[in-house]
C-alpha cells in the first residue's frame, strides 16, 4: 500500500484498486454483451474480446499477488491498464464509443477519491495522451472517432479535476470534523474523569461565580452541608459560617480582597442544632483585577480538634501537676549543692547534673503551659509600668555564670533614658527576653552576646545579637513555628523543644508588638523586638484600671 504523509484519501488503496477492477470488468462484460447486439460489420468483435480478455487476465493476476497490489511503485498500474484498454475499446467501437465514457467517468471519479492530487494528475495526463493517440490513429483509419466523443472525454477529465478539488475539500472537512469529534470526546472524558476524581475526595468542594452562584460541587459537599442539591443555589443560602464567638462570617469579603488564598481552621457551621468546626480553604480565581470564580475546599475537623484539645489539656494538666514536685526537687538539690563542701568531686558533679535536669524539666513544663494558654487564647495581661533597663540588667545577671563557663562576653547597651518606663506586662517581657538571651547563650561557643535597648517615636526596641552559629536563610520563615528546630550537627548538640521562639512571637504580639529575625551580614543572629510605648488593648486597660481601683479602695 502507498505510504501517505497525510490522510488525504477516503479509501484504502487496496480496497479502492479492487473496486476499480470490479468496475472495469463489469463495464467490459456489459460491453461484450452489447457488441453482440450491434451489427458485426460496424465493430471489430475480436478486438473488443481481446481487450476484455487482457483486462480480465491482468485483474486476476494483479489482485491475487500481494507483492504486486501492495507494492507502492505499482499503485498506478491498474489505472494505466484500464485506461489503455478503454482507449483501444473506444477506437474499436467508433461511434459507439460513448458507451465507454461511463466507465471512464467512474474510473476517474474513483481515482479522485483514491489518489492524492499528484497521482491523479499522472492518471489524467496519461488518459489525455492515450485518447489523443487513439483519436489520431482512428482519424487515419476508415471509421474514425466521432468528434463528440472527444468532447465528452475531455469534459470528463475536467469533471475529474473538479472532483479532486471537491474531494480535497471534503477530506479537509472530514478531517476537521473527526478532529473536533475526537477533541470533544476527549474533553468529555477528561471532564468525567475530573468530576469522578472530585467526587472521590473526602473533602467538600464548591465552586461559585462572582455572584456566589454555585456551578460545581462534589458528593462530600452535599453530605457535609446536609442538603440534597447545591447546583444553582447561592453560597450564602447553604454555607453560613461563624467564628468562635458565633458571629457570622461574610465569605464575600474575599471578593473585594486581592488575596491569593485564605485558610481558616477556626470557623463553625451549624447543622441540626449542633456546631461543627470546619477547615476552610478559599481560593479566588481572578481575570485581570476581577474575581470570576471562588473555589472552596472544606472538611469537618470537629473530632480532630476535640482529640487535639483533649490531648493538649492532658499534657497541660500533667505539666501543671508536675510543677510543684519539680520545684521541690530543684530546691532540695540546690540546697544540697550548698552543703557539699569537702565531698568528692564526682559526687558534686552528679548533684549538679541532677539539679540542671530538674531546672530543664521546670522550664519545659512552664513552656508547655504557656503554649497551652497561647493556643487556647488564655493569655492574661497584667499591666503596670516597666523599666526595661532594669529588667534587662536583671536577666543578663542571671546568665553570668553560664556565660563564663562558655567564655562568652555578655554586654548591655542602653540608648534611652534610664528612668523611662512604659505600661506593659512585666512577666511577659521577662519571659520574652529570657528566651531570646537564653537562646543566644545556648547557641554561642566562645564569643559575645550583645543586648541593645533603643527607641523610635512609637516603640521601645530590644536587639539581642550573638556571634553564634547563625540561622540558615531557608529556616528563617519557619523559626517562629511551634516545635521547629534547625537540623544540623551544631543544633543537635544543644537541648531544646522548639517552643521558645513560638512563645516569644505570640507573647510579643499579645502585647501589641512584633519580633523579627534580622539578617546579619557576617556572623551570628540578631532578633529585634518592638514593644509599643502605648498599650492599645482597651479590654486589658479596663481590667487594669479596675484592679487599681480595688487596690486603692482596699488601702483605706
| Dist CA 373 CA 96 (whole Å) | 112
Cα–Cα separations (whole angstroms), residue 24 to 12, 81, 229, 242, 451: 18, 10, 67, 85, 106
Which of 209 and 11 is assigned the larger pLDDT? 209
Predicted pLDDT of residue 514: 93
Q: List all residues 6 or more positions away from 119 whose beta carbon is below 8 Å from its beta carbon.
A: 75, 76, 111
Q: Is the pLDDT of residue 389 over 80?
A: yes
| pLDDT, tens only, 509-531 | 999 999 999 876 667 889 999 99
User: Highest mean pLDDT: which of 264-278, 338-352, 439-453, 485-499?
Assistant: 439-453
Predicted pLDDT of residue 462: 96
Which of helix, strand or coil describes residue 285?
A: strand
Q: Is 82 exposed, middle or buried (0-12, 13-18, 19+ CB in 10 A)?
A: buried
Give the DSSP letter of residue 5.
S
pTM of the entire predicted model: 0.53
Cell of 24: 472495469
pLDDT level of residue 8 (50, 70, 90 thresholds): very low
Q: Is 137 exposed, middle or buried (0-12, 13-18, 19+ CB in 10 A)?
A: middle
* Residues forming a β-bridge with 204: 298
pLDDT level of residue 2 (50, 70, 90 thresholds): very low
Q: List all residues 6 or more positions away from 492 whose beta carbon is below 8 Å from its beta carbon.
A: none
Q: Is the pLDDT of residue 547 over 90?
A: no
Which of 17 and 122 is assigned the larger pLDDT? 122
Predicted pLDDT of residue 23: 63
Predicted pLDDT of residue 448: 93
Q: Is the pLDDT of residue 397 over 50?
A: yes
Cell of 149: 466523443
Predicted pLDDT of residue 508: 94
Q: Is the pLDDT of residue 254 over 60?
A: no
| pLDDT, tens only, 132-161 | 666 566 555 544 445 555 555 566 556 655
| Dist CA 186 CA 179 (whole Å) | 10
Q: What is the mean pLDDT of the chain?
A: 77
Tally the C-alpha atoms within 13 A of residue 11's C-alpha that lie toward its C-beta. Answer: 15
| pLDDT, tens only, 39-93 | 555 556 677 777 777 877 877 787 677 777 677 677 667 767 776 777 677 666 6
Mean pLDDT value of segment 475-488: 78
Is 272:226 a contact under the CB 8 Å cutoff?
yes
| Dist CA 78 CA 62 (whole Å) | 8
Predicted pLDDT of residue 4: 40
DSSP string of 429-488, one letter each residue? HHHHHHHHHHHHHHT-SSEEEEEEEEE-SSEEEEEEEESSS---GGGTTTTTSTT----S
Predicted pLDDT of residue 6: 40
Q: Is the pLDDT of residue 490 over 60?
A: no
pLDDT level of residue 468 (50, 70, 90 thresholds): confident
| Dist CA 97 CA 86 (whole Å) | 9
Predicted pLDDT of residue 459: 92
Sign of the CA dihedral running 501, 502, 505, 506: negative
| Dist CA 359 CA 495 (whole Å) | 12
pLDDT level of residue 7 (50, 70, 90 thresholds): very low
Predicted pLDDT of residue 428: 93
| Dist CA 514 CA 265 (whole Å) | 23
Amino acid at each position: 500500500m502507498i505510504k501517505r504523509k497525510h490522510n488525504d484519501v477516503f479509501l484504502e488503496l487496496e480496497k479502492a484498486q479492487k473496486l476499480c477492477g470490479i468496475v472495469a470488468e463489469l463495464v467490459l462484460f456489459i460491453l461484450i454483451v452489447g457488441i453482440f447486439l450491434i451489427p458485426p460489420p460496424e465493430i471489430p468483435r475480436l478486438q473488443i474480446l481481446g481487450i476484455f480478455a487482457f483486462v480480465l487476465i491482468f485483474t486476476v493476476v494483479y489482485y491475487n499477488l500481494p507483492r504486486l497490489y501492495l507494492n507502492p511503485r505499482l499503485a498506478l498500474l491498474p489505472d494505466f491498464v484500464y485506461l489503455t484498454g478503454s482507449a483501444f475499446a473506444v477506437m474499436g467501437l467508433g461511434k459507439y464509443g460513448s458507451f465507454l465514457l461511463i466507465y471512464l467517468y467512474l474510473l476517474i471519479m474513483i481515482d479522485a477519491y483514491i489518489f492524492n492530487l499528484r497521482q491523479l494528475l499522472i492518471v489524467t495526463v496519461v488518459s489525455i495522451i492515450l485518447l489523443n493517440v487513439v483519436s489520431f490513429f482512428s482519424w487515419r483509419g476508415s471509421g474514425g472517432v466521432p468528434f463528440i466523443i472527444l468532447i465528452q472525454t475531455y469534459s470528463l477529465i475536467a469533471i475529474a479535476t473538479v472532483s479532486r478539488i471537491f474531494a480535497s475539500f471534503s477530506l479537509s472537512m472530514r478531517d476537521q470534523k473527526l478532529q473536533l469529534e475526537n477533541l470533544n470526546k476527549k474533553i468529555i472524558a477528561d471532564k468525567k474523569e475530573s468530576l469522578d476524581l472530585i467526587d472521590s475526595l473526602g473533602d467538600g468542594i464548591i465552586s461559585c461565580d462572582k455572584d456566589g452562584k454555585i456551578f460545581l460541587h462534589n458528593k462530600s459537599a452535599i453530605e457535609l452541608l446536609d442538603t440534597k442539591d447545591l447546583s444553582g443555589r447561592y453560597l450564602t443560602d447553604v454555607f453560613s459560617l461563624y467564628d468562635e464567638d458565633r458571629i457570622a462570617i461574610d465569605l464575600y469579603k474575599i471578593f473585594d480582597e486581592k488575596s491569593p488564598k485564605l485558610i481558616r481552621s477556626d470557623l463553625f457551621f451549624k447543622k441540626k442544632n449542633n456546631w461543627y468546626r470546619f477547615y476552610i480553604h478559599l481560593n479566588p480565581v481572578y481575570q485581570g483585577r476581577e474575581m470570576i470564580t471562588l473555589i472552596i475546599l472544606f472538611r469537618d475537623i470537629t473530632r480532630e480538634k476535640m482529640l487535639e484539645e483533649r490531648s493538649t489539656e492532658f499534657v497541660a494538666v500533667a505539666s501543671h501537676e508536675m510543677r510543684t514536685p519539680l520545684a521541690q526537687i530543684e530546691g532540695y538539690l540546690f540546697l544540697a549543692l550548698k552543703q557539699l563542701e569537702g565531698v568528692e568531686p564526682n559526687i558534686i558533679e552528679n548533684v549538679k547534673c541532677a539539679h540542671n535536669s530538674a531546672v530543664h524539666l521546670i522550664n519545659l513544663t512552664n513552656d508547655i503551659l504557656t503554649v497551652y494558654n497561647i493556643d487556647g487564647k488564655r493569655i492574661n495581661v497584667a499591666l503596670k509600668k516597666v523599666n526595661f533597663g532594669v529588667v534587662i540588667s536583671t536577666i543578663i545577671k542571671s546568665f553570668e555564670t553560664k556565660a563564663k563557663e562558655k567564655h562568652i562576653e555578655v554586654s548591655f547597651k542602653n540608648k534611652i533614658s534610664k528612668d523611662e518606663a512604659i505600661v506593659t506586662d512585666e512577666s511577659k517581657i521577662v519571659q520574652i527576653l529570657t528566651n531570646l538571651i537564653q537562646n543566644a547563650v545556648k547557641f554561642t561557643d566562645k564569643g559575645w552576646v550583645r543586648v541593645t535597648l533603643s527607641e523610635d517615636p512609637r516603640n521601645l526596641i530590644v536587639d539581642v545579637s550573638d556571634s553564634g552559629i547563625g540561622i540558615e536563610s531557608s529556616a528563617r520563615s519557619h523559626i517562629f513555628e511551634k516545635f521547629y528546630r534547625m537540623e544540623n550537627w551544631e543544633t543537635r548538640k544543644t537541648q531544646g523543644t522548639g517552643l521558645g521562639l513560638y512563645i516569644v512571637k505570640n507573647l510579643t504580639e499579645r502585647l501589641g508588638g512584633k519580633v523579627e529575625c534580622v539578617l546579619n551580614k557576617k556572623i551570628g543572629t540578631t532578633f529585634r523586638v518592638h514593644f509599643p510605648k502605648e498599650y492599645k488593648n482597651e479590654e486589658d486597660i479596663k481590667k487594669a484600671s479596675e484592679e487599681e481601683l480595688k487596690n486603692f479602695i482596699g488601702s483605706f
